[in-house]
Structure 1
Amino acid sequence: MLNPLWLNTFKTLIEVGHFTQTAEKLYMTQPGVSQHIKKLENAAGHSLIRRENKSFELTEQGRIVYEYALKIVEEENKLIENLSFDDPHSGQCKLSCSGSLALLLYPELLILQQQYPNLSMQLEAAPNQRILNAVQSGGIDLGIVTNLPNSNLYQSKLIGSEALCLVFPKCYENQPVTLALLHQCGLIHHPDALHYLSLYFELCGEDELRNLNLEAIPKSGYINQLNQILLPVAKGVGFTVLPESAVDKFPDKDDLYIAKTKKQVKEKLYLVQKRNRTLPQRYQAIYALLERVLSNN
């Protein structure tokens, strides 16, 4: 790598055209300027200027090195500009959340992008642990999880909650939720089903359900596509538990029955980012959007 100090002296000499004036401009001595040029020529392995009395001419190799020096200055200026430039309405925003939250948030994010076309939204649906791993590795900048993460690794904030719905086929409407009913209907299993069921039965206020053995509930089917989970429920095949946002987005919602229990069950939502990391200004709009949408849940 060519010494940037020698390159700057060489560039200044070419632009000024005189050794003495170059020395004055750089607060150096004239022999010091000559020494820098000689060292640069030795490092490049070629003569860069051809001296003629008190003037000089660039060699072809000198012209190439001068263009290189100009590019370095240009790249440095761009770097400084990029470091100081932080447009609050421009750039890529990388977020991750559960699939059900993605159904709720993505339309809102697109509205924001329509308002500010230079924003680019990257939203990934993922389970809690994958979200946390991606935040830690820098794959995403913001995540929304349902468990409070390690404060040594993450900066987190309670941003809202999301209601869980125990969903049956319409034909079960107004029937009390009992162990017998669950066994009769059967569970439509999905990747988060046992987690949601455990939380729901613990908090819904129904004593018969609190200590229920979830593994003992018959399984009527399994599907891992969020937009398909409620389809067998609507067809009368089984029951399941999903966040309210997923239920609200289901096109055949009229074929579903959302069970009524003593208490509404809500799952806490935490906004997380990597500890001690400051995000660009464009994320201020994302923060505001998330708080507006999720605080209403």
Structure 2
Amino acid sequence: MLNPLWLNTFKTLVDIGHFTQTAEKLYMTQPGVSQHIKKLESACDHLLLKREGKSFELTEQGRIVYQHALKLELEDALLKEKLSFDNPYSGECKIACSGSLALVLYPKLLTLQQQHPTLSIQIEAAPNQKILNDLQAGSIDLGLVTHAPNSGLFQSKTIGTEELCLVLPKVYAGQSITADLLNECGLIAHPDVTHYLALYLDLCGDTELAQINRDDLPRSGYINQLSQILLPVAMGVGFTVIPRGAIESFQNKEALYIAPTKHPVQETLYMVHKRHRSLPARYESISAPIEEAVSKI
């Protein structure tokens, strides 16, 4: 790495074009300025100036180093600007949540971005553990998960609940949901279905369903695109378990049948960020619409 003090002396000399005046501006002696230039040339292993009496011309290498010095000066100025001004409606917001929540939240956050074009919303759909891992790694700043995370590693806030629904084709409307019926229908699998299905069968209040061996349920299909999971169900191909928010976002809801339950199956939603990490002000601006959207699920 080139010495920033030598670079600054070199840049100042090029800007002013005179050794004596450069020394005066930097509160140095003229030999001191010459010494910085020699040390910089030695570090670069190239002559940077072609001296002609009291004047000089930049060599081609000198022009390159000068542009480098200008770039560093600009980067320093931008850094100071960022440190001194935390705009609540500008900058990148990196968020991760389940695919079903992404369907609900993204339109709301895009509306906020329309109002504030310098705000950049970036949402990744991911399961709980990946979200927590990414928070720890710093690749995202804010996560929404359905398990209370380790309080030693994360700071979390309860923001609401998400209801899980067993969804079947409309032809099954009014029929008793039994193990035989689910085996006949077949499971439409997706990345979160193992967790959702286990939770639903355990908590729905139906003792017969709680006894189902989930691994033995036949699969009628698999898809990892959340917006498409309900398509085969609507076409009569199988059943699935999915959050209600994803059902509300599906255009062909009239082709679906949501099985009634004795007890609603709900997961608590937590807004999470890395412990001891102070988030920029823009995350406060997006938290309100996120909580508002979750409250309406």
- Which of the five TM-score ranges fits, normalised by the shorter chain? 0.7 to 0.9
Is 1:162–1:269's contact at 8 Å kept on the other side of the alignment? yes
Separation in 2 of the partners of 1:14 and 1:221?
A: 68
Separation in 2 of the partners of 1:189 and 1:117?
A: 38
Residue aligning to 2:258: 258
Separation in 2 of the partners of 1:173 and 1:14?
A: 80
Q: Does 1:165 align with 2:165?
A: yes
SS at match of 1:59: strand
Residue aligning to 1:84: 84
Residue aligning to 2:137: 137
Is 1:161–1:268's contact at 8 Å kept on the other side of the alignment? yes
Separation in 2 of the partners of 1:122 and 1:101?
A: 14
Q: Which runs of 5 or more residues in structure 1 are unaligned? A: none
Q: 1:49 to 1:19 in 2, by over 3 A?
A: farther
Amino acid of the structure 1 residue aligned with 2:206:
E
Separation in 2 of the partners of 1:237 and 1:84?
A: 57
- Cα offset for 1:278? 2.0
Q: 1:58 to 1:157 in 2, by over 3 A?
A: farther
- Cα offset for 1:243? 0.6
Q: 1:18 to 1:236 in 2, by over 3 A?
A: closer
Amino acid of the structure 1 residue aligned with 2:208:
E
Instruction: Write the mapping of 1:68-217 to structure 2, written as runs, cut at 5 A.
Output: 73-217=73-217
Is 1:8–1:69's contact at 8 Å kept on the other side of the alignment? yes
Sequence identity (%): 54
Q: 1:241 to 1:18 in 2, by over 3 A?
A: closer
Is 1:163–1:244's contact at 8 Å kept on the other side of the alignment? yes
The structure 1 residue matched to 2:37, chosen from 11, 29, 41, is 41
- Cα offset for 1:227? 2.5
Separation in 2 of the partners of 1:93 and 1:214?
A: 38
SS at match of 2:29: helix
193-202 or 176-185, which deviates more: 176-185
Is 1:13–1:22's contact at 8 Å kept on the other side of the alignment? no
The structure 1 residue matched to 2:57, chosen from 42, 55, 60, is 60
Q: 1:103 to 1:36 in 2, by over 3 A?
A: same
Separation in 1 of the partners of 2:255 and 2:217?
A: 23
Aligned residues: 288
Separation in 1 of the partners of 2:7 and 2:109?
A: 48
Q: Deviations over 1:222-245 (max 9, x none)?
A: 333322322232223322111101
Q: 1:34 to 1:99 in 2, by over 3 A?
A: same
SS at match of 2:147: coil
Is 2:161–2:294's contact at 8 Å kept on the other side of the alignment? yes
Instruction: Write the mapping of 1:16-31 to structure 2, written as runs, cut at 5 A.
Output: none
Is 1:230–1:250's contact at 8 Å kept on the other side of the alignment? yes
Amino acid of the structure 2 residue aligned with 1:40:
H
Separation in 2 of the partners of 1:283 and 1:243?
A: 25
Q: Rg: which structure is higher?
A: 1
The TM-score with structure 1 as length reference comes to 0.81
Amino acid of the structure 2 residue aligned with 1:208:
E
- Cα offset for 1:15? 5.6
Separation in 2 of the partners of 1:135 and 1:123?
A: 13
60-69 or 32-41, which deviates more: 60-69
129-138 or 259-268, which deviates more: 129-138
Separation in 2 of the partners of 1:110 and 1:265?
A: 30
Q: 1:163 to 1:51 in 2, by over 3 A?
A: same
Is 2:13–2:19's contact at 8 Å kept on the other side of the alignment? no
Is 1:95–1:140's contact at 8 Å kept on the other side of the alignment? yes
Q: 1:16 to 1:199 in 2, by over 3 A?
A: same
The TM-score with structure 2 as length reference comes to 0.81
Is 1:166–1:240's contact at 8 Å kept on the other side of the alignment? yes
- Cα offset for 1:260? 0.8
SS at match of 1:282: helix
Q: Deviations over 1:76-105 (max 9, x none)?
A: 333212221222111222212111111111
Q: 1:61 to 1:276 in 2, by over 3 A?
A: same
